[in-house]
Structure 1
């Protein structure tokens, strides 16, 4: 049931398009390696760094990244964000997020000239996840356009 919920499977066995959208966005974000030697090398490094996650004996045939076979070329390369538009942006970054490094949120806020809310926690997302400090600051911004105070830090 948890996997069904995570992957957006409904009671009729149908899936939403979240994973499709994720793959499409990821594959056009930046060019993916397309030569087999780089896949094998990355697979060997992965197995050395995290042998407990290995899927079996090394065969020399590493799994390909879906993006290497994506039919549309990447349209972007890594670059600094440069916003154009009205108003201030608010970035929420979690100190021990397992998926996104905290420093990435700090850097994004700096690049955008945004207000940064730091959440001291371990989950991937913090907004509307039960932390009153984060939720109040975000709701005030959404409703009243009240920018959170500088260096707002919210505990878990």
Structure 2
């Protein structure tokens, strides 16, 4: 699959990763192509299944979610949909949910309105899953990692 991706494709994706609001013309100027050529390459990457979706990155604290938590879950009973329903009823949003190594193990990246919302959520999780909780203190960006 990667043999079909050239350095120009990589540069386009890297630039859009940093500045997803850039126009095709702006990206083209950066990689020495026309805007139409950039659009054609992006369409090809979508068709190949490499480019899956376009998204935005919300500043969760500014949007009203002050606590960022990472939870490693080991399901005791039920399935992950039971856990998702629990999250849906809480004052939080799931950013990512991954099935990870380990029996019935998942990693959930979620934001909560505040510590009180997180503390109110956790007792409901106890019957469904054992968990390890981590609070995110700061996000490191590419240049800092």
Q: Tell me which interval the TM-score lies in, with the shorter structure as reference length.
A: under 0.3
TM-score, length-scaled by structure 1:
0.25
TM-score, length-scaled by structure 2:
0.26
Greater RCO, CA 8 A, separation 6+: 2
